Structure 1
Amino acid sequence: MAYEVTATRKRPQLFDNLVGQEFVVSTIKNAIEQGRIAHAYLFSGPRGVGKTSSARILARALNCDSGPTPYPCGTCSNCTEITRGNSVDVIEIDGASNTSVNDIRQIKDEVLFPPQTSRYKIYIIDEVHMLSTSAFNALLKTIEEPPAYIVFIFATTEPQKVPATIRSRCQQFHFRLIDLETIKMCLSDAARELEIEADDDALFWIAKESTGSLRDAYTLFDQVVSFSNGHITLEQISDKLGLVGIDQINHVVSNLLGGKHKEALLAVQSLLQNGVSIEQCIKDFTQYFRSLLLMKEGITEESILGVQSDRIPSQIRNAYAKEQLEAGVELFLTLYRDIRYSLNPRFELELAVSRLGSLPHLASTTTLLKRLSQLKDDLLQGKVALSATAPPQPMVETEREKQIPRQAVVQEIQKPEAIPVNLPKQVVPVPVQRPFAKEDIPSLVGKLSNTPILSQVAQSIKKIDNNDNQLTLTFTTKFCKNKAEENQDKFRLLIKEISGYSGKLSFAYIETEEKTQGLKTDPVINKIASVFRGEIS
């Protein structure tokens, strides 16, 4: 008899044998028992979880001689033909190979003919998302109103690529990933049937690597069986497949925690010399620190951790804080993304392992701020007391001290200590208020030097009067007086700075008689006045 792979040999033939899909199984079985058979089904989900197997079981359940029944006999001609794949009324089509609209038109022509020997003519289209848009459009009307003897079963791993018009015409069933314990149990049954001894940690590793796909687990199981010599062990798997064992990672991390960085780097070099790829090393270190992080959060389920927790020593589990483990996971995730552009990926791995040595001393800014806040609270509550004397400071000889003879230094030391004197606190002098005088005008002009026009206005002060608690500044022109009034707040502030005066402030102006008489005797001015028929004022 020809060899049959485990995935084919263990393919379920009944709904009850379909593991990990209880919702799908119960719904379809109840629909068949109640006679609620739809004309189109859409099975979606990850690879290797039972979509195609469920389609074949449904085809047998509908066309069994004792059916439709949720428990096909498996012995009648229809059941055996469907199992062997040579039934004329159950047509399996690969959607990836038959993507054109012409292939769908052929189906449209075939559905006009009733089944030959069975109750239903069933079309199973695998990877239906690979059909072209034209093919989907050609299939729409046929799916919506097919003959009563036609049933379509679509299977896909990418339901988002199936047009909504197709999905709306089908009953949709989403298949889930299978949990680790269920896969491990199926692998144990397969090993028992083959009379092969398998260690629990080896089956756990195979189940973990399958990532929820039972077909992937059976395929990897067959590969491991081929070199196990009747006994599957994790050591054999690590050696033959070039993996980093958890014990080897424990050895590296223990050396780093003990400060033996040289031994840790040599252990990594030994892994690489034994044929373990750099990418695999990074993956295993990432998985290791992820598991430690989940353990720190209190998670104990092995299906989530991905490792058996008792294989990691307690001193390693307790050596890192949560944020340090997060930094370790991020370190290797970033490393895996960066090695594709690296000058030498091996150097990158060595650098990452070297940085792991300082991981126990890593503290984020958030943690430091929390510690400072806690220390502040403890000081305010009196939980921590400060020492009255400062710690002794190391003596450093300055250049000046080096030039002084030793004898002079000894004499200086022998001098009696000076008695400390309590000096009074420094008092800020308050400026004494006095009248603003004419002698203060240059200071005012200097303070207004950054504003040239105001500086000129200050220079035109003709007279200063201090009467009845009021300071009056008299200017030579009305323009200067008006300009000073516009900026009186600034004048008041500067006068207070100069003399301390903070009383009332007013402005005035005068024009001398000589200036007016000079204008009247000027011939040019008189000519202008005669032309415009005006007078000088």
Structure 2
Amino acid sequence: MAYEVTATKQRPKTFDELAGQDFVAATLKSSIETGRIAHAYLFSGPRGCGKTSAARILARSLNCEKGPTVNPCGECPSCREIAKGSNLDIIEIDGASNNSVDSVRQIKDEVIFPPHGGKKKIYIIDEVHMLSNSAFNALLKTIEEPPEYIVFIFATTEVHKVPATIRSRCQQFNFRLIPIETIQKILKETCTKMGIEAEDEALFWIAKESTGSLRDAYTLFDQVASFSEGHIRSQLIRDKLGLVGLDKLNALAETCAANDTAGAFALLDGLLDSGVAIEQFVIDLAGYYRSLLLLKNGVTRESLLGYGPDRFSVPVREKLDSAQLEQALSLLLGLYRDIRYSVSPRFELETVLSKLCWLDRWVSPLELRAAIVGARNILEQGGGGGIAGPLSGPGLKEAPQIRTSP
């Protein structure tokens, strides 16, 4: 039997299986139950969050022999043909490769014919924003007053490129990024179905790297599973993909907090020699200081921190305040932007690492202003260096106001 990627194998088949899109699923189910079926829908949102899957579920619900129903049987000929992509009444079109007026004219010529065997004839146009302006104009009349058996479902990742004249003729549904916890739970269930053992930390990393896209999560899951030999472990992921673990980040941050520049350079050299890419190292270190900043401000949610709060170095958390952590994060983000144009990315990284080693002595603009204002107040009150009166006179000016960043 041919191998099937997990994203295809685990594609949702009912509205209840549509992860992270509760509002969309509830609204479409209510529309089907009450018989309020629109003639055109516009699904928009980030990649891999379920737009095409929702379109196919809606098509299956409308054309199921027991339908329209919110729970298609999956066993009738119509449901099976839709699952295989062979149903003649469900026409899926790629807007990127069929973006001309001629393609739309073909649709206009076809809509006059009723469905072959189903109740509805459904056009699913993916990446609809790729259609040309002329093609959109040719669609206007068709999607405004189509035959009663026609349903259009448009999907796009860039809804702002769809003309307002098209959007106004469609019921619009905005799909959201899927939460990390939801993706991690789905991956855990997938592992159980496939008989794969997986550490929670490893699945969390996959969910975090997918940035809210379940399809991206499945793709990364397949890659990791291919070299994990049935047991997905976080250590194996770090070794194979060149990532920096939390233990090493803690050790490096503690060395920097101790003002040990030589020790920090030695640790950096060992990490880079182990095969860690400079860009990946900067990303991981920036994420580490971000997590410390969140912790400093009372955020303990594991899905935001990446790890449990108790796993981050206590000495570093105690030694650096919020302003210093903000400065560390600013240095690393600036470094990531600069290294692509640098003569030597490693030199840039070593310079920033050296700055991190004296971070506890860095003074923020707010602290500097407070110190200047305090010194001025002391001088004006006659308490500094024998000055007996307020700071005034023809040869003296008022201290300048210092502007600080918010």
Q: TM-score, normalising length from structure 1?
A: 0.69
- Whose Rg is larger? 1
C-alpha contact (below 8 Å) 2:199/2:234 kept by paired residues: yes
Q: State the match for 1:123 in structure 2.
A: 123
Is 2:307 the partner of 1:312? no
* 1:346 counterpart SS class: helix
Is 2:78 the partner of 1:78? yes
* 1:116 counterpart SS class: coil
Deviations 1:182-233 (A, max 9, x none): 0110011111112221111111111110111111111111111111122211
Counterpart-to-counterpart distance in 2, 1:49 and 1:365: 43
* 1:57 counterpart SS class: helix
Counterpart-to-counterpart distance in 1, 2:365 and 2:104: 62
Cα displacement (A) at 1:380: 11
Cα displacement (A) at 1:369: 2.8
* 2:319 counterpart SS class: coil
1:77-96 equivalent positions in 2, closer than 5 A:
77-96=77-96
Q: State the match for 1:331 in structure 2.
A: 331
1:248-397 equivalent positions in 2, closer than 5 A:
248-371=248-371, 373=373
Q: State the match for 2:104 in structure 1.
A: 104
Cα displacement (A) at 1:373: 5.0
Cα displacement (A) at 1:378: 9.9
Counterpart-to-counterpart distance in 2, 1:70 and 1:53: 14
Counterpart-to-counterpart distance in 1, 2:340 and 2:38: 50
Cα displacement (A) at 1:277: 1.1
Counterpart-to-counterpart distance in 2, 1:80 and 1:378: 84
Paired residue type of 1:355: K
* 1:152 counterpart SS class: strand
Q: State the match for 2:390 in structure 1.
A: none
1:408-447 equivalent positions in 2, closer than 5 A:
none
Deviations 1:268-310 (A, max 9, x none): 1111111111111111111111111111111111222234322
Counterpart-to-counterpart distance in 2, 1:272 and 1:229: 27
Q: State the match for 1:36 in structure 2.
A: 36
Counterpart-to-counterpart distance in 2, 1:189 and 1:117: 36
Which sits farther off after the overlay, 263-272 or 28-37? Answer: 263-272
Counterpart-to-counterpart distance in 1, 2:374 and 2:6: 61
Deviations 1:131-161 (A, max 9, x none): 1111101111100110000000000000001
Deviations 1:300-353 (A, max 9, x none): 112222343222121122221111111111101111111122111111011111
Cα displacement (A) at 1:370: 2.5
Cα displacement (A) at 1:372: 5.5
1:461-472 equivalent positions in 2, closer than 5 A:
none
Q: State the match for 2:203 in structure 1.
A: 203
C-alpha contact (below 8 Å) 2:66/2:73 kept by paired residues: yes
Paired residue type of 2:251: H
Counterpart-to-counterpart distance in 2, 1:203 and 1:333: 26
Q: State the match for 1:52 in structure 2.
A: 52
Relative distance call for 1:374 and 1:189 in structure 2 (3 A) is: farther
Relative distance call for 1:307 and 1:371 in structure 2 (3 A) is: farther
Paired residue type of 2:256: L
Counterpart-to-counterpart distance in 2, 1:82 and 1:64: 10
Task: Tell me how large the CA RMSD over aligned residues is.
Answer: 1.9
Q: State the match for 2:155 in structure 1.
A: 155
Counterpart-to-counterpart distance in 1, 2:73 and 2:379: 80
Paired residue type of 1:5: V
Q: Which runs of 5+ in 2 are unaligned?
A: 387-406
Deviations 1:222-267 (A, max 9, x none): 1111111222111111110011112111111111222322121111
Counterpart-to-counterpart distance in 2, 1:69 and 1:210: 33
C-alpha contact (below 8 Å) 2:278/2:345 kept by paired residues: yes
The count of residues paired between Structure 1 and Structure 2 equals: 385
Counterpart-to-counterpart distance in 2, 1:308 and 1:166: 47
Cα displacement (A) at 1:108: 0.4
Counterpart-to-counterpart distance in 2, 1:242 and 1:91: 43
Q: State the match for 2:392 in structure 1.
A: none
Q: State the match for 1:227 in structure 2.
A: 227
Relative distance call for 1:366 and 1:152 in structure 2 (3 A) is: same
Runs of 4+ in 1 over 4 A off after TM superposition: 371-381, 385-388
Counterpart-to-counterpart distance in 2, 1:120 and 1:378: 83
Cα displacement (A) at 1:386: 9.4
* Greater relative contact order, per chain length (Cα 8 Å cut-off, separation 6+): 2
Cα displacement (A) at 1:371: 4.6
Q: TM-score, normalising length from structure 2?
A: 0.91
Q: State the match for 1:466 in structure 2.
A: none
Q: Percent identity?
A: 60
